[in-house]
Structure formats: structure tokens, C-alpha cells
Structure 1
């Protein structure tokens, strides 16, 4: 072999070594476009990449419904990410059970629990194994537009019962103001109404009994009544025109543009609505938050909350670099920044007291006073039953099924899953 050939061989070997040393960590997130959340993610990724030569983290953002639909296929393919966003709950349990996830080593769990929320980490555990790191705690409540309320001469803080809310919906209709905007095409925003009504009517014990198939499961008087109360709202035509053709991202932009009196959505909507609005969204002075009201005769409590405990979980293909980045991505510094900048309500205990935004403080107070926290039903009950809850919420909203048919369909799905 001549020197030229030897040199070329050494260069090729060097390039091969460099190629092997380079590691890419692929992260799949729900849509964070045009929000402070996206800025936070991008900054954390950029800093990590700069401080870790040989490792490149990339984040792909996917609209929520597309994320839910495509993730099962991705997890079974060579294109699976190294980690992805998770709402926890039944869908997460299914993924862990089916072997799509990688659990953290015990020593990593012990170290992380010293800084990260043990309760949040527990939400991303299955059968005593931990599969990810927690990020935000979420609560859903009724937002209201103070400008519209003043113009209509109403005080949303006076709402105590579902009947009170329906009466105010009618006032808004009579005054030419859309009562609620909703992304009906995605279905899950509609399921918040149905979920809250079920919780208020049957309470924690009743919800647990349904999940266990007791008292008729979902095909009982309480679930039928939840559907009937939901249909009382639907009969008032409370949503914007063409709501079933509007996705969540569009609907939150409409809310940010001041197109309705109310908006039933989670605390994450503060940044999302401002990012999606045409002019920066509503100011804190224009916003108010109230809990979902009680239903007369219900067994629940107004302090029973609906929401999530989200974070990111590792897939079975994740390597040590992914574990290392996950700790930074969901770590104390990132969550403290999120708290200070009003991005979200963090799970890290040391960050909680840093929340200064007055709207997020109201949501934090709702969560702090919670007597029973129910995870989003479409996540809590797993993909089949959770998907059915979203489906019937949309079908009742369009008048395609009755409350009785919805309850029977849910129980049939529960029995066969």
C-alpha cells in the first residue's frame, strides 16, 4: 500500500470514528409553535447541544390530534423517537405494557427524586418502574372575557351551578356574543364539558365505579344525566359557527382575539392563545378564571378538578444520551424559568413559588385546593375507551346520538377493551 492509499485509509477510518461518535436524540412533542413554551424548549435544546459535543438533540412538533393518531405507528417503526410527550394515564400504561418504553435505572430514579416531583414522577410510572420525567401539572377551568362580561352586564364569578352558567350563556346569545369557542374537529376540547358534568354528578366514587364496571359501568343514570345536561348546553347553540370544522389551535386563536365570553380550557392556553391570536391575545386585565360549576343534586364537589400531569417518556430505543438530556429538558432550571416567565405551572417543588403570573396563580390555587384530581378522561381510560369518550362528546354536539346512546356505547367499549 502506498502512502497516498494509507492516508486515504486513515482519513476514512477517522471519518468513520467521528460518525460513530455522533449521537442524535430525537424528541417528539405536541405542538408548541408560536408560544413561550416553544421558545423555552428551543433554548434548552440549543444550550444542551452547545455543551455536549457529539450529541445533537432535535425536537419535532406535531399538532395534538396528529400526534395521537401517528404515535402508535411511529412506536412500531424504525422512525420511533427517543422520547416523546406524554399525558400519562391509561394510554401511557398501554405503551409501557406493550414494551414500547424504556424504564429509568434505579440509581437515576433515586437521584432525580431528590429534585424532581416524586408525585409527578409517579404519574409516569407503571408497575414500580419509572419511564420519564414530569414537567407540568394542568387544570381545566372556565376562562372568561372581562370586557364582554362588562358589556353584557354579567358577573361570571357569581356562577355557582350549571343552571347559572346556562342562563349566562343565554344572556350572551341574546347580546350577540358567542358564549364559547371550541375546536370541535379535534373532539377532545368537547370532552371537557362531558367529563366535568360526569364528575360533578357522580363524584370520585361514582367515577371509580364506572371504571370498574360497577353499577352498570357507564350505562347508568348518572352518565345518562351527564349527557342530558351536556345536551341542554348544546341546544342553546353555544359555540361559534362551524365549530366542528375548527381545530384547537384555531379555536384558541379565536379566544385570544376576543371572539367569545367563555372558554373551557386548561392553564396552558395562556401562552397558546396569545401565540395563536392575530394581535397578541388578551391581556391579564381582560381575563378571569372560574371553576366549573356544580350540578344540582350532584355528588361531586366544586373543588374536584380535571387536568393532567404531563412530561416526557423514553422509548425502548433510547440510549444513555437521551436519559441525560431528559433530566436537563425537564430539570429544575428549565422549570424554574418556566415558572418565572409564566410558561406553565411546574411540577418541580422548588419552582412552584416562582409563579408570578396572576392568571397562572389562579390556576395554581384551583389545583392547590383540589379535593380529587381526575386525569383527562381521554387519557385516563386508555386509547379505546378514551377515544370513545371523545367521539360521543362530538356526536352529541352534532345531534347524531342521544345521551342514552352515548352511555350505552361507552359501556360497550369498556366491556370489550
Structure 2
């Protein structure tokens, strides 16, 4: 396993000597227990523990969907971690409002803003209080396999409209290549399709109006069309056989093994697919990235992006040592190592220029050109409505709900949450 090297730099000195009692800091992360994430995280923990005698960091991983389902129960129990991964957004707001999180003091916030991303920290703030530190910015785009594209005679960079994309799906099907792999069992990978189609149709103002319950909320012509356009794709049977029985980890492993032409997923998939693939995954030379295309008559822009601003937040009973580790774990040294090691696109301003991987650079360019960045809808709208968006995305994919019924269900959920 490749470990990204971290040194006990001078910036670690602020933690040295601040914690000598025998303290364990429990950290819960989503499924990043594979190369290169695990190497980065393991080295970060080892460096921090070496500089802080008496402090033990217990890093645990949980599959994404299990994380979402089990975290609410954990936060209400004695088994709550001291800090955990957060996508920010509505779910994070709920956790803060319910008193499950520990706020940082003003002096700490002021200090951290000098080195960390102020915008990223704002994403982990609510009602004037800051609860965590940002790690990475994420964007979702269409990955493509250059080998398959060349064999099929497809130039993915020429895909500018949704009809172009559907045409490429048909060409792939005719050529015996699976157009898209997807982890349908987890539902959230399917919600990327529905979300981006909706964004392309209604744009920033339309999405904001839906969130505010204006123009019928989610039960309007734009959301109905989003479902109908989504169903145009579904009717082409674009996914691998049995896609609803495959979770994200399995799907990204298939992608890494070259099982499809396209994969609609975020930049984190570079490391995830290589860790899950049976042969080390696709090389940078075999990969390309394009933004999700425009839809005819849509109010959105090709530069409107879907993604996240993730990090880690503290729970209400977290010890002071957890604050020290959070600062280091999300700090300059670790994020610079992540950037140079091709692990993720950092939020720390001084680390951004260190991104060397050609694929991550393409994602960074997409993010840098963004005219409107929409947080993942299943996080942005909170647990109830966000969960409903995931549900209807899966139900439409299996033909168990119509676009009309999906729009009605979402609006009912929004009105009553």
C-alpha cells in the first residue's frame, strides 16, 4: 500500500505538549479504508500521535449508506464518536440544531481561518457557530473510458447536449459495451442523474424556488420534466445487469475493471475505483472527464456544478484533544500531502497548486469554472426530503414510480418535514 509521506513539520508544534493524559479520540469516517485514502489517513494519525504523547486516535470506517443510517442512533448513544465525516448541508444543520455537535470557540475559529479555507469552514457553520473543519471540495462529472470510446468511435468531448449523451448510450449498447455502471442499491449514485438533469432544466433560481416551496415546490413542470428526461435514459437500459443489487463499492470496482463506457461520479472515485478494482484500476491515460451536458430549453448552465464541501465535525462531548486532531487532520500539511499524492482536491488555499494528477486537475478546473455549485441534494435538503430524492431516483430507475408521482411525493415530503 502506498502511503503519502507526512512529516512532523513545525506546524505540528502547536499540538505538542497540549495533551499528555491518556485520551482516545474516536473518529468515524465514510468508506475510505482503501488506497490512497487509507495511506494518507494512517500517516496523519501516526504523525499526530507521535507529536502528542498519551493521545490515541481510533479511526473507524463505515460504508456510506450504513454511515447515514447508523449515525443518528450513534449520536444519541454513549457510543458516539468524538468527530465524524460530514457532507455539510441540511443534515448537518439538523445535527447542530439537535445539540449533537460541539461548537468551536471564537479564538479557535479566528486562528483556523488564517490557514484553512474560510468558505469551507462556512459550509460547516450554522447560525453563527462553527462545528468543524473542511477537507475537500467535490464535483460530480461524467468519467469516460478512452479505450471503449475509441473502439466505439465516440468522442465524449463532443457531447454537449443530453440528446448527444443518449446517442452515445445507444451506440455503446449497439457495440456491446455497458454505457454506465451504477451502484443502484445505495440509491444516492442514481440521484446524481436526477439531480443534474433537474439543475440543467431549472438552473439556480429554479432550484432555490423549489427549496422555498415556490411555484409548486417540487410539484411543477420543471421537476416533472426532470423525471421525464431521466426516464428517457432509463428506458435505454443504460446500466449493468442487476444494477439495483450492486452497492457503490461494487460499481466503482466494475468501473475500475473497465466494465463500462461512462461513470457518473465525483472526483473521489479516482482513488476509490483503483482500490476496489481487481487489477489496480484504469490509468490516467485511459480516463477522461466531461461535465454533464445541457438539456434543450434548460435554464441552467454547463458550468453549474453538483458536489460537496465535506470535512469533519466535533460531537458535543468531544475532548479538547479532538479539536487538536481535527485541526491537524484537516490542516495544511495533510491537505498538501493529499494534493501532491492525488488523493483529493484540497480546500486549503496553499495546497491547491500542488494537485498534480491530470484527472484531479480536470475536476479542479470544473470546480474553478463553476458559476453555481449545488450541494448534493440528499444532503442539502435534509434527511427526510434528501432521502426521498434518493428513493424516487431509485424507484424511477426500476419503473416503480412515475415522474408525476415522484414530483408529488417530493413536494409532500418538503411540505411536511
| Common topology (TM > 0.5) | yes
Secondary structure in 2 matching 1:177:
coil
Partner of 2:100: 100
Cα distance in 2, alignment partners of residues 379 and 396 from structure 1: 20
Q: CA offsets, 1:229-257, max 9 Å, x none?
A: 00000000000000000000000000000
Partner of 1:242: 242
- Structure 1 segment 137-216 matched on structure 2, within 5 A: 137-216=137-216
Do structure 1's residue 416 and structure 2's residue 416 form an aligned pair?
Answer: yes
Shift, 1:168, TM fit: 0.5
Cα distance in 2, alignment partners of residues 80 and 288 from structure 1: 40
Do structure 1's residue 357 and structure 2's residue 357 form an aligned pair?
Answer: yes
Partner of 1:404: 404
Partner of 2:77: 77
Partner of 2:233: 233
Cα distance in 1, alignment partners of residues 294 and 352 from structure 2: 28
Output the TM-score relative to the length of structure 2: 0.95
Do structure 1's residue 321 and structure 2's residue 317 form an aligned pair?
Answer: no
- Structure 1 segment 274-285 matched on structure 2, within 5 A: 274-285=274-285
Partner of 2:26: 26
Cα distance in 1, alignment partners of residues 127 and 354 from structure 2: 33
Secondary structure in 2 matching 1:318:
coil
Secondary structure in 2 matching 1:172:
helix
Cα distance in 2, alignment partners of residues 360 and 51 from structure 1: 31
Q: Larger Cα Rg: Structure 1 or Structure 2?
A: 1
Q: CA offsets, 1:355-380, max 9 Å, x none?
A: 01110000000000000000000000
- Runs of 4 or more, structure 1, over 4 Å off, are none
Q: CA offsets, 1:71-128, max 9 Å, x none?
A: 0000000000000000000000000000000000100000000000000000000011
Secondary structure in 2 matching 1:141:
strand
Partner of 2:7: none
Partner of 2:221: 221
Secondary structure in 2 matching 1:21:
coil
Secondary structure in 1 matching 2:354:
coil
Partner of 2:336: 336
Secondary structure in 1 matching 2:301:
coil
Secondary structure in 1 matching 2:232:
helix
Cα distance in 2, alignment partners of residues 331 and 191 from structure 1: 31
Partner of 2:38: 38
Output the TM-score relative to the length of structure 1: 0.95
Shift, 1:49, TM fit: 1.3
Structure 1 runs not aligned, ≥5 long: 1-19
Shift, 1:33, TM fit: 1.8
Do structure 1's residue 56 and structure 2's residue 56 form an aligned pair?
Answer: yes
Cα distance in 1, alignment partners of residues 118 and 104 from structure 2: 14
Q: Tell me how large the CA RMSD over aligned residues is.
A: 0.7
Secondary structure in 2 matching 1:33:
coil
- Structure 1 segment 4-23 matched on structure 2, within 5 A: 21-23=21-23
Secondary structure in 1 matching 2:104:
coil
Q: CA offsets, 1:250-275, max 9 Å, x none?
A: 00000000000000000000000000
Q: Comparing 46-55 with 131-140, which one deviates more in the overlay?
A: 46-55
Do structure 1's residue 129 and structure 2's residue 129 form an aligned pair?
Answer: yes
Secondary structure in 1 matching 2:135:
strand
Q: How many residues align?
A: 398
Partner of 1:9: none
Shift, 1:53, TM fit: 1.2
